[in-house]
Amino acid sequence: MLSQRAVGLALYLAALAAAGPCDIYASGGTPCIAAHATTRALYSAYTGSLYQLRRGSDNATTNIAPVSAGGVANAAAQDSFCSGTTCLIVQIYDQSGRGNHLTQAPPGGAASGPEPGGLDSLASAIGAPVTLNGQKAYGVFIHPNSGYRNNNANGTARGDAAEGIYAVLDGTHFNGGCCFDYGNAETNSQDTGNGHMETVYFGTGTGFGTGAGSGPWILADLENGLFSGGTTGVNTANPTITSRFVTAVVKGEPNHWSIRGGDGATGGLTTFYAGARPNANGYNPMSKEGAIILGIGGDNSNWAQGTFYEGVMTASYPSDATENSVQANIVAAKYAAVSLASGPAVTVGSTVSLRATTSCCTTRYLRHSGSAINTEVVSSSSNSTLKGQASWTVRAPLVSSAQGCVSFESRDTPGSFIRHSNYALVLNANDNSKIFHEDATFCPGAGLNGQGNTFRSWSYAPRYFRHYLANLYIASNGGFHDFDATGSFNDDVSWVVGAAFA
């Protein structure tokens, strides 16, 4: 017969196994004061909303909750709400009960966003699909100019007070622009000086310190400096990250802080730095202000990109052991990458034409004229020049991690690809740069008017191939350009993929 004590222990172990990351932090005596995730509940008992969507067809909003207490987000509810239209993530709810929700970031000292009122853009709801234990969910795909913030957070660390932060990110989605951050920042969206921030940073940005190799790295943005450790040089113990999923940890307490990291799908955490505060003016003691940012810098520097799946903040210094248990929980959640494609198959290696489906324009095809891309009437009796201009070879995505996406190589100008540049589509020779690959990667979806396919920009995820006054753009539904107009949007972004003319 089991002793009462053994039963108690068994129940305790079962509870730990079922615990969410914030249950684990609470057991460690360092409870979450903010908990954000569009993918899953971070407490085993959490049944509330995870995030809010707004759709393009009627501007209606809805909240997405986990399928069950402590479970994965109800992606099917999102897919149903967003069917036949576009959706943006309006708000990421705080699961801690403190109301530390993240909303569209306001303008700041370094940059205003492009949206009305100088707000940053919102992230696409479909830019970062994944599965957790085989169940579909969506992360937050931050494109340049997008970001979320809360300048009135409750319970976050102030001054030199202790805190802990972790975030689960996409190791293949980053850039060197400032700053893909998650954590503690200024409450007025201005740069108020060294030591006024303490966040996880992910990317290839430099300034004060870098890790080994060419990046990307997990660094800490402490304001006016991305730090890899306690000094301002290279911290060779802070490696270039190569995994698809990344767990990134930054924590600080008086006279001491730490950066840790690991693969978000397997293994444990490694400590990249633990020790004294940086030996540069203003970083010891710290002057944390307690706002919360996601995808931007403290002064709204909004040039970065990256993907956020989940993350939390605590208002005390978590032990390494607590974080190691959280990492085990993240690994057990089994994040896995999935295809970004939907709708009719667009086959790599095939040669195709793309026909407009708006009623004005059903004999017009996407074609290039030099480097410009527009639509033109093309038929089997067109001359061979025009046929060549309207014919494309479907290639594997130039961003190799963008599963299911494609790139379009010109038939008559081999080596040149359709890419976006300043929101227009153009035909340029592939220079094999990271930015070219990103600008030339597009993800097929089902046509929003029920015909054919859409082609969504991988890097600017809310934006799709659209013809507007016969020219081609990457357009968002109701965005800030004239070519983002909502009228006939669904028709203008839907293309029938047919046989190539040449």
155 binds ligand NAG (CB under 6 A): yes
CB 54, min distance to ligand NAG, A: 8
Q: How many Cβ atoms sit within 10 Å of the Cβ of residue 349?
A: 8
Regarding 90 and contact with ligand NAG (CB under 6 A), the answer is no
DSSP letter for 417, please. E
Rounded CA gap, 301 and 107, in Å? 9
Nearer to ligand NAG, 424 or 485 (CB): 485
Angle ∠(173,174,178) on CA atoms, nearest 5: 150
Looking at residue 73, the DSSP 8-state letter turns out to be: B
Query: 263 CB contacts (<8 Å, ≥6 apart)?
Result: 243, 245, 246, 247
Q: Which of 27, 48, 98, 207 binds ligand NAG (CB under 6 A)?
A: 98
Is 97 one of the binding residues for ligand NAG (CB under 6 A)? yes
Judged by beta carbon, residue 58 or residue 431, the one nearer ligand NAG is 58
- Cβ neighbourhood burial of 319 (10 Å; 0-12, 13-18, 19+): middle
Segment contacting ligand NAG by CB under 6 A, of 7-15, 104-112, 380-388, 417-425 = 380-388
**Minimum distance from residue 83 beta carbon to ligand NAG (Å):** 16
Phi, psi of 251 (to 5 degrees): -145, 150
Give the binding range for ligand NAG (CB under 6 A) out of 79-87, 143-151, 265-273, 381-389. 381-389
Residue closer to ligand NAG by CB (options 242, 385) is 385
Closest CA to 407 of 386, 430, 423: 430
DSSP3 helix / strand / coil % (the chain, rounded to 5):
15, 35, 50
Residue 222-251 contact track with ligand NAG, rule CB under 6 A, x = bound = ------------------------------
How far is C-alpha 140 from the geometric centre of its chain's CA atoms?
Answer: 4
C-alpha distance from residue 457 to each of 246, 439, 462 (Å): 23, 7, 7
163 is catalytic: no
Residues 240, 270, 428, 486: which binds ligand NAG (CB under 6 A)? Answer: 486
* Active site annotation includes 323: no
For residues 343 and 348, give the distance between their C-alpha atoms in angstroms, rounded to a whole number.
15
What would the x/- binding string for ligand NAG be over residues 50 to 69, using CB under 6 A? --------xx----------
Among 83, 385, 400, 433, binds ligand NAG (CB under 6 A): 385
Is residue 383 a contact point for ligand NAG (CB under 6 A)? Answer: yes
Which region, judged by CB under 6 A, interacts with ligand NAG, from 73-81, 190-198, 378-386, 409-417?
378-386
Q: Extract the tokens encoding 246.
A: 């990344």
Catalytic residues: 223, 299
Residues engaged in binding ligand NAG (CB under 6 A):
58-59, 97-98, 154-155, 383, 385-386, 478, 486
